[in-house]
Structure 1
Amino acid sequence: MSRRDRIGSETRSFASYGRSWLIVIRGPRGMAFDRFLVRRTGFSLVSLQYALAGRFPYHPTLLLTTVGRRSGELRDAALPYVPYGKDLVVVGSKGGGPKDPAWVVNARHHELCWIVLRRRTIPVRARVTDGERDPDLFAHVVARKPNVGRYAERAAGFGRQIPLVVLTAVSGESLT
């Protein structure tokens, strides 16, 4: 087993609170199906299975489309979100693993993104921050999603801060 595979399985086990048998939908096909489902219904089976495994309530999910940093191609990610004023916050935890998710790297390079929220496509600007630079935002997110604090502690062991991405509608409208 390679180091990458080992870290991936450790992260999955950590993120599922040791109940990785509940994580049924995974892999490229499962994630593609989940993105399709979020685009059409706003509901994510992947978010639901992690919520059930961690015994947390289900969080609503959006579909974030970013522009690939190197390829320039559009990339989709289904992500649970937390309302924050008139904006939304998504967390780049990747289960507290050693690297940021690809969608965070893309959002850092191209701040203009799109979300599908309640079956509407909305252009947004992404502002990437972390708990160290914005402790009030981090506290707000952790109060609503306690598992983020656990992921942040694990990520710190890899020398990484968990990125928080604030999504603001380009039009100025409220997303909440």
Structure 2
Amino acid sequence: MSEFSLRSIGSIRTPYFDSAPYQPVDTDEQEFYLQLNSEYVAGLKDLDSFTYIYILYYIDRLKAEPKMEVAPPWAAGQEVGLFASRSPVRPNPIGLSVVRVKKISGNRIYTSGLDVFDNTPLLDIKPYINDLDSKCDANNGWVQNFESDEHMALHIQGIPHDY
């Protein structure tokens, strides 16, 4: 297996230190922003013309080792393959979130709610382009046969609830 390295382009600032939502919460009114290292600021040109962005980050605080079969906490013990889950415990702990761009000021991109811990290393930012990224024939995979619509909606919105 070949190894390679990535470098952080900045850090993600959130109010979360010990626990965070499972998904970004668009309506969370707390302060969330990406703070880019100065050498990358020119790369922000025209990013504010997009409503949403993808954020890729390094999940740097995991202590567990990845398993190839996992039981999502809300799936009542059902096991699925790791790659059929959204578990953060992965061979390469890279996180992906889609968030709303609120404003850009200097080296900061202020966003809607994020689902990461404060000071998480930021790896990359990409624009969410509706005609490329929205797939009208997408489904919910194994989850559509398991979850009630109401329960799934809570997960999609990142709203804390009982499992």
- What TM-score comes out, normalization by structure 1 length? 0.23
Greater C-alpha Rg: 2
- Tell which has more relative contact order, 1 or 2 (C-alpha 8 A, sep 6+): 2
Name the one with the larger helix percent. 1
- What TM-score comes out, normalization by structure 2 length? 0.24
